[in-house]
Structures are given as structure tokens and as C-alpha cells.
Amino acid sequence: MAKDGNGQVSGKLGINTRLAHSGNNPHDYFGFVNPPVVHASTVLFRDAASMAARSQKYTYGTRGTPTTDALAQAIDTLEGSAGTIVVPSGLAAVTVPLLAFVSAGDHLLIVDSVYHPTRNFADTMLKRLGVEVEYYAPDAGAVIAALIRPNTKVVFTESPASNTFEVQDIPAIAKAAHAAGAIVMMDNTWATPLYFRPLDHGVDISIHAATKYPAGHSDVLLGTVSANESHWKQLYESFCTLGCCAGPDDVYQVLRGLRTMGVRLEHHQRSALTIASWLEGQNGVARVLHPALPSHPDHGLWKRDFSGSSGIFSIVLAGGGQKQQHAFLDALRIFGLGYSWGGYESLAVPVWLGDRVVAKGPYDGPLIRLQIGLEDVEDLKTDILRGLTAAAAA
Ligand SMILES: Cc1ncc(COP(=O)(O)O)c(C=O)c1O
């Protein structure tokens, strides 16, 4: 295994090797395996000249520390990016790059199946700042060219879709956007860079709620935003302008989580697929929305572009409404009812599609999103059967 001048692993290495060895260089800190957790606002300069020239690596806590650099460099290795900023939440990882690149009078295209708080930010703050916001169907692919206007600045994608898991044709979208001079951003939280590398498929800015799989334990909020060479400078400068830096303990926890993310994801993937295929044969389930299942309408696209699947998908109950949906959720004993995902524990949430403009379904019944944790599959199946029995009786 070779390390470059920055202590980063290089060469053709497996993903778990890269997860174990990317980021900090232990020999920068007396050989300690993990980087220090640097709590910093002030950084001292040796003299007035170096202060005036800002000619040292670190100048102030908001602009980066050895701890944030360790995580950012590890993410760069995984993403193939020129630079990564680390921000205090996954939502900040959405809002900071949008603020960095859109201006009053710009047109912003967002996939209609986007994470709801992304839509809320666009519909409230960005509209107030004079940005025109439009939503496109997740199956748009190359047809998105018809929606691109001379003032389209950014196409914001998220694939698979939040809650309904449609897969987008990212290379086709990127080609159309770039032909018109627009930037492509992608929320890649579901796949992580282990199963999809957005920049390899034409995306300019890759976004992660590191709160999910990188952190992995439902106890940290963090986001990362990675840019290709041509967009890195503007992203980093905007990040410094906004002062949107993350706390060192949270950054450290995510770097710690990253080391085991490959192993955890394999388990999430296997369990989720086992449960998803089993659910396809269960009474009371109309459809399972998981792109790695051959029955999923976008399975071909997923297979073409992704190298794996994670632990979250949705089911459509066979008929009924909110009463049946709530009966299912209330019968669960192992699955917790709570937002977020990517942690070790299983979670279930009711899916609400009331914000959608084009990607509304129709679906045969109410939707429930399941995050499959690291528990034993047989126990999770038993719990889901409790939910299905309760929904049928409601
Ligand atoms: C796809 C997606 N992006 C971003 C976020 C925001 O992450 P955070 O909870 O860290 O703000 C979430 C959270 O659920 C999400 O599901």
C-alpha cells in the first residue's frame, strides 16, 4: 500500500482498505493511529508578516483544522473529489452549496422526489432571495433538456428518491445540464460513495448527510459536500463566508464511523434485500419500492450505475389509508418510530407525499418507509408480520 505526500492511500485498493487508511497521516502526530480532536477558534501566527500574508496552513477554526481535514481528505479519497467541506448537518450540506452557486434571477431545477426539507429551503428562502424554483419528474433523464432555460444555474438531483426510491438517469441529466452551462448537484446519502460515485457520472457537487451511514449510530449530525476541481474554490469560499463549520467532536465521531462503514453497509444491504424480497410475497403488501429488486421499474438503471444498495426502502400496503398505516406502525416492537436512518437500529416512518408536484404515484395503499438496522433478520421479519397483521385487522 502506497501513501502519497499528504499521507493518503493510493493505488488499486479495496474499499474497506481505503476506509481504514484514508484521511489523517498517523505520522503527522507521533504515530497515533487517530487524528487529534482539535478544539479551535484562534490559531497563532509566528510573526506579523505571516499574519498579514496568512501564509500558514491553518489560520482560524472556521476555515478548517487537522480534524476536519482528516475527514475531508478521507471523503475526497472515496468521492474522487478535489475538495470537501464539513458542515453541521445533512441539511446544511444541501443549503450551503445551493447558497454558494445560485443568485437572484437564476432558475433552479430540483427533482420532485427530493428530501422534503430541501424543497422547503428552496420554496422559502431561495424564492425569497429571487431564485426561480421548478420541480422535474424523477424519470426525466435526457428529457430534462426541455426544462432547461438560459438562466438555469443548477440541477439538483437525489437518487434514489427520498421515500419512493425512483432511480434517476444521472449521466443523461448531467450531459443535458452541462450542455446548457448548468451545474449538477446530487444528494447521494442513500448509496454513499461506496455504492455510487456521483463525480464519476458527471455530477459536479456530491452531498451527504453523514448523519446516516458514515456516523452510523444515530448520535451525531453532520454533512459533507464534495466538489470537482472546477467548483471547489467557489464552494470553499462560500463555506468560509457563511461560517458554517462543524464541531470537532462530531467530525471525529464521523471519521470514526467511516472506518466501519463498509462492514456495516454490507450487513444493512444483505438484511434489507432479504427482507424486501420476502415482503414481496407477503399478504397485505401491494409493492416493495427497493431499486435492487428486479421488480422495481428502475432496476436496470440501478444495476447500470450502482454497485450496491443500502438499508432503506418503502412498502406499499395493499389498500387502506392512514388507519391501516398507523395500525402497522403502532404494532411494531423492534422498529422504532423516528426520523433519520443509517444507524444500527431499525426504524419505520409513515410516508407523506403531499408535497409532490409530479411524482405523486398513484399507489395502491399507504406507504411505510423501513430502515433496516443491524438486528437479526428473523426478529425483524417477526416484527413486520405484527405490523401487517395489525394493518389487516384495522
Ligand atoms: C436524503 C437526505 N438528505 C439529507 C438529509 C438531512 O440530514 P440531517 O438529518 O443530517 O440534516 C436527510 C435526513 O433524513 C436525508 O434523508
Q: Is the CB of 250 within 6 Å of ligand 1?
A: no
Whose CA is closest to 225, among 185, 262, 170? 185
pLDDT in tens, 306-317: 999 999 999 999
pLDDT in tens, 198-231: 999 999 999 999 999 999 999 999 999 999 999 9
Q: What integer best gives the mean pLDDT of the chain?
A: 96
Structure confidence at residue 11 as a pLDDT band (50, 70, 90): confident
Q: Which ligand 1 atom minimizes the distance to the CA of 340?
A: 14
Beta-carbon neighbour count of residue 329 at 10 Å?
18
How far does the centroid of ligand 1 lie from the alpha carbon of residue 52, in Å?
40
pLDDT in tens, 325-376: 999 999 999 999 999 999 999 999 999 999 999 988 889 999 999 999 999 9
Whose CA is closest to 258, among 220, 304, 294? 220
How far does the centroid of ligand 1 lie from the alpha carbon of residue 209, in Å?
5
pLDDT in tens, 271-298: 999 999 999 999 999 999 999 999 999 9
pLDDT in tens, 123-182: 999 999 999 999 999 999 999 999 999 999 999 999 999 999 999 999 999 999 999 999
Q: Is the CB of 88 within 6 Å of ligand 1?
A: no
How far does the centroid of ligand 1 lie from the alpha carbon of residue 111, in Å?
15
- Which residue is closest in CA terms to ligand 1's atom 10? 90
H/E stretch holding 20: helix 15-21
Signed CA dihedral, 132, 237, 28, 221: sign only: negative
How far does the centroid of ligand 1 lie from the alpha carbon of residue 86, in Å?
14
Q: Is the CB of 90 within 6 Å of ligand 1?
A: yes
Q: Is the CB of 211 within 6 Å of ligand 1?
A: yes
- Which residue is closest in CA terms to ligand 1's atom 7? 90
The residue whose CB lies within 8 Å of the most ligand 1 atoms, and thus the one to mutate among 95, 217, 340, is 340
How far does the centroid of ligand 1 lie from the alpha carbon of residue 343, in Å?
13
pLDDT of 238 > 80? The answer is: yes
- Which residue is closest in CA terms to ligand 1's atom 8? 90
pLDDT in tens, 12-64: 889 999 999 999 899 999 999 999 999 999 999 999 999 999 989 999 999 99
Q: Is the CB of 169 within 6 Å of ligand 1?
A: no
pLDDT the model gives residue 12: 81
Structure confidence at residue 2 as a pLDDT band (50, 70, 90): low
Query: Which residue is listed with cell 444541501?
Result: 94
- Which residue is closest in CA terms to ligand 1's atom 9? 90
How far does the centroid of ligand 1 lie from the alpha carbon of residue 90, in Å?
5
Residue 5 gets which letter from DSSP? Answer: T
Q: How far apart are CA 97 and CA 234, in angstroms?
A: 9
Q: Which ligand 1 atom minimizes the distance to the CA of 162?
A: 1
Q: Is the CB of 271 within 6 Å of ligand 1?
A: no
Contacts of 52 (CB under 8 A, 6+ apart): none
Contacts of 368 (CB under 8 A, 6+ apart): 314, 315, 317, 325, 328, 329, 348, 349, 350, 351, 387
pLDDT the model gives residue 85: 98
pLDDT in tens, 59-71: 999 999 999 999 9
pLDDT the model gives residue 361: 86
The residue whose CB lies within 8 Å of the most ligand 1 atoms, and thus the one to mutate among 86, 91, 167, is 91
Q: Which ligand 1 atom minimizes the distance to the CA of 339?
A: 14
